[in-house]
Amino acid sequence: MKTRLLNVWSVLKLPLVAILVGFVVGAFCIMLAGSNPLTAYAALLKGSLASLPSFGETLYKVTPILLTGLAAAIGFRCGLFNIGGEGQYVVAAIATVGVAWSFQGLPHFILVPILLITGALVGGVWGGIAGILKAKRGINEVITTIMLNWTALYLSNYLVRTLLNPSRLLDKLPSGHTVAVPEAARLMKLKVIIPAFGYSSAHTGIFIAIGVAVLMWFILFKTTLGYEIRAVGFNPTASEYGGISSAKNTFLAMFISGGLAGLAGAIQIMGLVYMVNQSPELPGYGFTGLCVALVGLSHPLGCIPAALLFGILDNGSRQMQLAGIPKEINAIISAVILVFVAGALLLKYINVYFEKKRGAGKPRFKEVREV
Amino acid sequence: MSGVTVIAVIASAIRLATPLLLSALGGVFSERSGVVNIGLEGIMIFGAFFSVLFTHITGNAWIGVVAAIIFGIVMAALLAVVSINLKGNQIIAGTAVNLLAAALTAFFLELIWHRSGSTPICPDMLTSNPIRVLEKLPVIGDLFKQFTPFIYIAIVLTFVTYYILWKTPWGLHVRAVGEHPKAADTVGIGVYKTRWICVLLSGVLAGLSGACLSIGTVGLFREGMVAGKGFIALAAMVFGKWHPIGAMGASFFFGICLAIQIQAQSFGLDVPGEFLAMVPYVATIIVLIGVVGKAVAPKADGQPYEKDEA
């Protein structure tokens, strides 16, 4: 029992320390702004967890970043950096609006699955482009996914301005957002089921997200597909010798990863915002997803508490602002956690990795570099 | 299209290309030594903010430029520590730099000016042409009227970068470290030291690029003013095949796309602006695929180097 606990501690130590460091740096910044960190953090917790409606708001913030976190996590498990979660989210969101508008006559229980599948497929295809380029031509997925993020943003802005604009579809004045999705396409609010959720915007999307997290855990750890994806992530050359195609699994992992980020986009549209706005910037869910995956140790179930943490940081910032603390503190805390995770956590992994390799008397350098 | 419009578009393209070029040169240094620099965007944000802050404090925009360089180095040092010494993942480190820079500048904005969104206009800017003689040239004289000091700096630095990396022994060392760090280490080239210098140089250049965006263009800092320009710079570096002269060509090409996008209406061009905005990204993917001459990254780009201790 004791060794088991020690094992759990050795795994959780680094993300927990990273979070602690993040909050300590945050406390320092709060003092710099002339406030008391304890008051600030009390406001943070009060604003995000103290009542059912505020917890509901937190759940609403958790929903998209849990899904983009899972997207990043499955990429990591296959040794891939999908930093294209942003773009996959964006294309899926705009596609959801388009499809919902085209099929607006359909009843709720048929339209909702159609839209979820649309979002996942469109996001999957957007991620799959980077996957194919990596698998077939060895092109670094980091660069392609960055490029596809911005391509997606401008494509979405174009569709918002033209095809899906209220001026085209509803004979209204041109506006900076698309038409709203029909009632039948909207996910149910939690407050309809449990009135105690009050003003909160939480919707049933959170159950979908948690369900998907469990499903991803099952796929990654209990199926052949998951085993192959992890094998390729662990050592592509060795898996190739074992008959596991690294090209196929690279593509599949990017497709699934894109699909998860796309699902986030679809659910965000169906759950609360109902339309897409023109935007000069990427929405940021994909990057937060990277933080979620890293703090969640790239484990689908670990992503749940990690997403909750970043949801609390996001939602609590309003209450902190009311207490006179700049809202940017929370973004600083998130960024510091990421810096620490990038430095310390991966250092640890890499050291363990090298220790193992050294033990086996193998060379300590990864000489093969594709691009 | 009249001659005046052509000059206007070219001038606008050059002005828009300059921050991209400066940052892309930073990317060339960093990546040639084997460190992927996704954090260019964040370093630019830092440079843009601190150049404005110090211009406000001192009233002299050139001191603002120096501040941009210094704080660019500070941000780059964070990337260097994580990715070189701690052997952390360079992509995550770069992403962290981007998020941290955006959050910190927004925080400082709130702390110093008690407002969010943007700073007041600076008392001094660097938006006028420093070399007046060139304006007297026939035909292209009007072009130079639009030039800022940053344009001259960027052009000079492009050739300086080329000279350093391809014509000096140290440049050869840098490229060796980026291609095969172990071999470089074996012949006595300090891998860590070389990478550190290169990453800090990318901080200098991306910091300058940030100053170019703020005090070299609008004279203030606005949240979200960098809005992906660091990533276009990254695209310019890849499109230019990790080469300074190539990066210059790529930046100019991207600048023309942006300039046409801005001025499309003035000469009745009916191309949706969004598609012009997409060109840099799509073009970069096409170049990577290898349709028009394949772009290949330095071999050890992105790989942390583990020194053999014993």
Q: What is the pLDDT of residues A33-80, one digit of tens each?
A: 888 889 889 888 888 888 888 898 899 999 999 999 999 999 999 989
Count of alpha carbons within 13 Å of A93, Cβ hemisphere only? 34
Does residue A362 register a pLDDT over 50? no
What are the CA-CA distances from residue A3 to residues A6, A15, A175, A298 (Å)? 5, 20, 61, 23
Q: Report pLDDT for A361.
A: 41
Q: Would residue A357 be called left, alpha or beta, if left means φ above 0 and alpha means ψ between -120 and 50 degrees?
A: alpha
Give the domain CATH number at B73.
1.10.3470
| Chain B residues inside the 8 Å CB shell of A290 | 92, 95
- In contact, A74 and A229? CB cutoff 8 Å: yes
B112 touches A at CB < 8 Å: no
B270 falls within a domain: yes
| Chain A residues inside the 8 Å CB shell of B282 | 147, 151
B300 falls within a domain: no
Give residue B18's pLDDT band: very low, low, confident or very high (50, 70, 90): very high
Give residue B127's pLDDT band: very low, low, confident or very high (50, 70, 90): confident
| DSSP string for residues in A17-81 | HHHHHHHHHHHHHHHHTTS-HHHHHHHHHHHHHSSHHHHHHHHHHHHHHHHHHHHHHHHHHTT--
Q: How many CB pairs under 8 A join A and B?
A: 155
Give residue A356's pLDDT band: very low, low, confident or very high (50, 70, 90): low
What's this model's pTM, rounded to 2 decimal places? 0.89
Q: What is the pLDDT of residues B26-72, one digit of tens each?
A: 999 999 999 999 999 999 999 999 999 999 999 888 999 999 999 99
Does residue A348 register a pLDDT over 60? no
| Chain A residues inside the 8 Å CB shell of B235 | 146-147
Distance from CA of B11 to the nearest CA of A (A): 24
Give residue A8's pLDDT band: very low, low, confident or very high (50, 70, 90): confident
Q: Report pLDDT for B135.
A: 78
A356 falls within a domain: no
Q: Report pLDDT for A72.
A: 94
Using CA coordinates, name the residue in chain A closest to B281: A147
Return the SS3 of A189: strand
Give residue A16's pLDDT band: very low, low, confident or very high (50, 70, 90): confident
A84 falls within a domain: yes
Q: Residue A167: in which H helix or E strand, if any?
A: helix A166-169
Give the domain CATH number at A107.
1.10.3470
Domains identified in chain A, total number: 1
| Chain A residues inside the 8 Å CB shell of B102 | 331
Domain that holds residue A96: 61-315
Interchain proximity B277–A154, CB inside 8 Å: yes
Cβ neighbours, 10 Å, residue B14: 22
What are the CA-CA distances from residue A197 to residues A42, A192, A203, A267, A274 (Å)? 21, 8, 10, 19, 20
Q: Which two tokens stand for residue A48?
A: 């995000």
**In whole numbers, what is the pLDDT of chain A averaged over residues?**
86
Domain that holds residue B90: 3-289
Q: Report pLDDT for A357.
A: 53
Specify the higher pLDDT residue, A2 or A309. A309
Domains identified in chain B, total number: 1
d(CA A84, CA B128): 39
What's the DSSP call for residue A369?
-
Q: Report pLDDT for A360.
A: 45
Q: Report pLDDT for A189.
A: 86
B267 falls within a domain: yes
**In whole numbers, what is the pLDDT of chain B averaged over residues?**
88
B104 touches A at CB < 8 Å: yes
Q: What is the pLDDT of residues A197-252, one digit of tens each?
A: 888 888 899 999 999 999 999 999 999 999 999 998 888 888 888 888 889 999 99
Q: Report pLDDT for B119.
A: 86
Q: Report pLDDT for B195.
A: 94
B76 falls within a domain: yes
B17 falls within a domain: yes
Alpha carbon B238 to chain centroid, angstroms: 13
Give residue A351's pLDDT band: very low, low, confident or very high (50, 70, 90): low
Specify the higher pLDDT residue, A276 or B295. A276
Cβ neighbours, 10 Å, residue B163: 12
Q: Report pLDDT for A352.
A: 55
Q: Which two tokens stand for residue B129?
A: 């042409």
A151 falls within a domain: yes
Q: Report pLDDT for A120.
A: 96
d(CA A153, CA B164): 37
